Amino acid sequence: MFTHANFSRSGKIVHGFSTRLDGASRRLDLGAGASSEDWAAAAAAVGAPDMAVAIISQVHGAGVLWATGPGLVGEADAVLSREVGLLLAVRTADCVPILVAGEGVVGAIHAGWRGLAAGVIPAALAELDSFGALSAVVGPSICMDCYEVDEPVVEGISRWIPESSFVRRGSGRPHVDPGAAAVAQLRASGLTDITRVEVCTSCDPRLWSHRQSGAAAGRQAGLVGRLC
């Protein structure tokens, strides 16, 4: 489980980014077929064994939903909540998981390149505009070296931020750092308290990667919840 100490420094939230293994070193795949036991293992791994989990059906868009209880909330790529004792989760296998927290609110955002192009980050933050200063942590995602893309990817994300903040060009196809693009979008939306777990899902064997394994890849999750 990956965490970032700066994001949890207030002591009011719990968070983490899961790996291929749970806290007992058992295989953990939080994809579409994940069981209640799998989610319980993920909750325990972030230090919240008594918390239930709210999830969304992710569609690579800019939809945002509010959760008031556990289970499947609906179709979206960001989920927010004011509830104490409820974990929010987004699932990834190279895309960017982003967790946010403010006064009395938390959120989890799933941002693949299509979500970055659609504006899922500013859409989620717009919903949180009345909650004061926010902090964010950007979790593990595919790195620039591993993510060679076509021009439509660059063009889509560049609608929101300068190309120089997330693209490397050379003699071949462009390479993109989607985590850097997420950080740039967060900053463009007014956030200054941003941290990042700079681990590549494709390079690190502890993590699931669609680029590495294709359709056989499982899913890890970014989870966040309010303790009080």
DSSP classification of residue 220: E
Q: What is the pLDDT of residues 10-68, one digit of tens each?
A: 789 999 999 999 988 899 999 999 999 999 999 999 999 999 999 999 999 999 999 99
Segment 104-114 mean pLDDT = 97
pLDDT at 165: 96
pLDDT at 24: 85
Say yes or no to pLDDT of 192 above 80.
Answer: yes
Q: What is the pLDDT of residues 118-155, one digit of tens each?
A: 999 999 999 999 898 999 999 999 999 999 999 999 99
pTM score: 0.96
Domains and CATH numbers, the chain: 13-226 (3.60.140.10)
Cα–Cα distance measured from residue 26 to residue 69, given in angstroms and rounded to the nearest whole number = 27
Q: Identify which of 192, 197, 113, 107 has the alpha carbon closest to the alpha carbon of residue 151.
A: 113
Cα–Cα distance measured from residue 86 to residue 43, given in angstroms and rounded to the nearest whole number = 10
